Amino acid sequence: MRKKALLALMLVLTLLLSGCTLIVKDQAVDNATEIIRMGDRVVTKKEVKEQVDSVLQYNEYMYSMMGQSYDVTDPQVIASAQEEAIDDLKKDLTLTAKAKELGLDQLTAEEEETVKTKAQEDYDSAVEYVKTNELAGAGLEGEELDKAVTDYLVAREVTLDAYTESERKTVIDNKVREYAIKDVAVTDDEIKTEYDSRVENDKTTYTDNAGSWATAANNGTTLYYTPAGVRRVKQILIKFKEEDQTAIDEAQKRVTDANTAVTTAEAKVTAAQSTLEIDGIDEETETQAKSDLEAANKELEEASKELEEANKAVTDATEKAFENITAEADEVLASVKAEGADWQAIMDEKNQDPGMKNNEKGYAVAAGMTNFDSAFVDAAMALAKPGDISDKVRGTSYGYYIIRYESDEAEGATPLDDVKETISSALLSTKQNEVYNTTVNQWVEEAGIKVDLNALKD
């Protein structure tokens, strides 16, 4: 009798020590476990885990966009995502309560209409995405396709109501943000300090690198200091005929393929030679290596011959392309150099470079530029004074350039008035973000939110 009692006791102890594996967790109850509370508002375990998953998926996507790995199974990564998710949920609770407190949670009829319109647009985009990507090969049409799309979205809790609620929340949050930053302003002293800093930074960056300044200017970058040696030029591009450009491209592809074949053959030659140089090589391996070397040398010879012919094909195609536009280039050159010629009118009519369209100042050019055709840069920098026009210049890729020297960029700091609005806008945005984040963090601290991290554990 005592033996049976002892066996029963051991069984109970075994179950306890093994984590009571025979006890089945009630998933619904577990999902409803309270994790975060603010007043009568509660965030459940299920909601927190969904937010954690959302953070992990978003971060994984962003890391992949930067070519970096993000291991969603790493415990430290999960812990970090959990912390971020809980912070987000606490802020969401706080902002919702603050909007109600301030009376900002009620939208006007116009705002509601805007919400509905935006939500419908987003939902329609989701429908179209599913049709053209997820169900593209399903062979469905009409009502059958519409139903399949709806079922697909509903299964993932993607509905028009969800989009509407999300958009309404965004509008309300933006109203709270506007309330928090309504008194933020930027002073003239702050603008001047930032201006001086940017001028000094650009001066350090570009004084000995005018080519980089010109590249940045052509890319639309706002610049605060101009180095010496930068000029503005305009051009008339006489492009190769389409069929001639196609011939050049095909010949250049032959060159690329031939170069690859040469590299491959050279590697085979090297491998075979390395085998033959091995001390104590057996007769069978030596015979095979000699055979491989002979074949590789033949392959290399053929590839080298093809490379030579491909390079000649590029040269021939390029020469033919220039021949076919020389008369046109000569005609345009004569017209712009004729006495009383209107360069701008001729350029507007004859130019085939879209970059010149609506380009009032022209391209910024300086010695040392690497993103423009060197033939173009050299010819532009060789012009003696503003108003000078080059002869037709053979480009390395597109055709003939005819270039006019327009003006010189004045060395020195950009006038403050020219960039004041840009600096003011940037400073204001930064200050608004800082004030908003500080204010929200303060609201969260004052909200008395309770978080039970232990209840989050499985």
pLDDT band for 26, please (50, 70, 90 cuts): confident
In degrees and rounded to multiples of 5, residue 294 shows phi and psi of -65, -45
Question: Can you tell me the mean pLDDT for 408-419?
Answer: 97
How many CB atoms sit inside 10 A of residue 4's CB? 8
With 50 as the cut, is the pLDDT of residue 20 above it? no
| Residue 411 per-residue DSSP state | P
How are beta strands 412-413 and 225-226 bridged, if at all?
antiparallel
Give how far Cα 154 sits from Cα of 119, 160, 165, 210, Å: 16, 10, 15, 58
Q: Is 248 exposed, middle or buried (0-12, 13-18, 19+ CB in 10 A)?
A: buried
Q: Which of 415, 384, 341 is nearest to 233 (CA)?
A: 384
Token representation of residue 402: 């005819």
Q: How many residues does the chain have?
A: 458
With 60 as the cut, is the pLDDT of residue 91 above it? yes
Name the amino acid, one letter, at 75: P
Token representation of residue 221: 């970058």
Output the average pLDDT for the chain: 91
How many CB atoms sit inside 10 A of residue 151's CB? 11
What pLDDT score was predicted for residue 181? Answer: 97
10: three-class secondary structure by DSSP: helix
Contacts of 347 (CB under 8 A, 6+ apart): 234, 235, 236, 336, 356, 404
pLDDT band for 1, please (50, 70, 90 cuts): very low
| Residue 234 per-residue DSSP state | E
Question: Can you tell me the mean pLDDT for 99-111?
Answer: 94
235: three-class secondary structure by DSSP: strand
DSSP line for 200-252: HHHHHHHTT-HHHHHHHHHTT---SEE-TT-EEEEEEEEEPPHHHHHHHHHHH
CB 256 within 8 A of CB 423: no
With 60 as the cut, is the pLDDT of residue 380 above it? yes
47: three-class secondary structure by DSSP: helix
What pLDDT score was predicted for residue 25? Answer: 62
Question: Can you tell me the mean pLDDT for 406-433?
Answer: 97
The whole-angstrom separation of Cα 286 and Cα 230 is: 64
Question: Can you tell me the mean pLDDT for 436-445?
Answer: 96
| Tens of pLDDT, residues 195-219 | 999 999 999 999 999 999 999 999 9
How are beta strands 450-451 and 34-38 bridged, if at all?
antiparallel
| H/E run at residue 44 | strand 41-44
Q: Which of 410, 424, 423 is nearest to 210 (CA)?
A: 410
| Tens of pLDDT, residues 61-72 | 999 999 999 999
Beta bridge partners of 451: 36
What pLDDT score was predicted for residue 397? Answer: 86
The whole-angstrom separation of Cα 395 and Cα 421 is: 40
Contacts of 149 (CB under 8 A, 6+ apart): 127, 130, 131, 135
Contacts of 59 (CB under 8 A, 6+ apart): 70, 81
Q: Which of 324, 364, 346 is nearest to 402 (CA)?
A: 346
Beta strands, E only, 346-448: 363-365, 393-394, 399-408, 412-413
Contacts of 86 (CB under 8 A, 6+ apart): 35, 36, 48, 51, 451
CB 234 within 8 A of CB 363: yes
